Amino acid sequence: MIDGDVSLDRSVSTPSSEAHGFGVFGGVAHLTATPPVGRHVLADFTSVFLQTLSEECLDRGADLIGHLKLHLRTDHGALRASLVDHLAGPALHNNLGEFPFAEGDLTVNAIVHGLDAENVRACVYVAARSAANGNLAVEWNSCVREREDAR
C-alpha cells in the first residue's frame, strides 16, 4: 500500500437500495500513518475529507447533502465528524488525547440526494485520496464481512 493511496476494493458496501431517491455509501476503512502523526493531522484529514466529499458530490450533480458522517476509532480514543451544509463546513468532536496516531478504524456514512450510489462511492474514494495527502494510508475493508463477523 502506498502512503496516501486509496485501495478500490470492490467489496466495500454500496447498499442495493437507492432508498427514497438517495445515493448511499457505508464503508469501513483501516487508516494508518507511517510515521505516526499528531491529532491535528487527523483533524485536518477529516475536515478535508468531508469538505472535498461534499464538493465532489455537488459537482457531480447532487442537489442536497443528506449527511456525511465519519467516525475514527483508535487505541487512544475516538474522533467523529459530520457535515450537512458544505458552506458551514464540518463539525468535529474528539477525545483523542495527545498520543501519536499510528492506526485506527474509519467508518464513513454518506447519504446524498440526486446522485446514485455508484457516484457517491466514487466521490468518497476521491475525497479520501485527496485528504490522505501522503501522510496517511486508507485501506477500505468489506463491511459485509464485518457484519457477518459481528453476527
* 125 near other proteins, judged by CB under 8 A: no
Q: How far apart are CA 4 and CA 32, in angstroms?
A: 10
Least distance to other proteins from the beta carbon of 91, Å?
Answer: 8
22 vs 125 by CB, closer to other proteins: 22
86 vs 129 by CB, closer to other proteins: 86
Q: How far apart are CA 151 and CA 137, in angstroms?
A: 28
7 vs 82 by CB, closer to other proteins: 82
Question: Of 132, 121, 106, nearest to 6 (Cα)?
Answer: 132
Least distance to other proteins from the beta carbon of 37, Å?
Answer: 21
* 100 near other proteins, judged by CB under 8 A: no
Least distance to other proteins from the beta carbon of 2, Å?
Answer: 25
What part of residues 56-75 is at the interface with other proteins (CB under 8 A)? 63-67, 69-71, 73
38 vs 114 by CB, closer to other proteins: 114
Q: What is the DSSP string of 85-111?
A: -TTT--EEEE--TTPPEEEEEEEEEEE
Q: How many CB atoms lie within 10 A of CB 36?
A: 12
Which sign does the torsion angle of CA 111, 112, 117, 120 carry? negative
What part of residues 24-53 is at the interface with other proteins (CB under 8 A)? 24-28
Strands 22-37 and 137-141: antiparallel
Question: Of 88, 92, 87, nearest to 69 (Cα)?
Answer: 92
Interface with other proteins (CB under 8 A): 13, 15, 17, 19-20, 22, 24-28, 63-67, 69-71, 73, 78, 80, 82, 84-85, 88, 91, 95, 107-111, 113-114, 143-144, 146-147
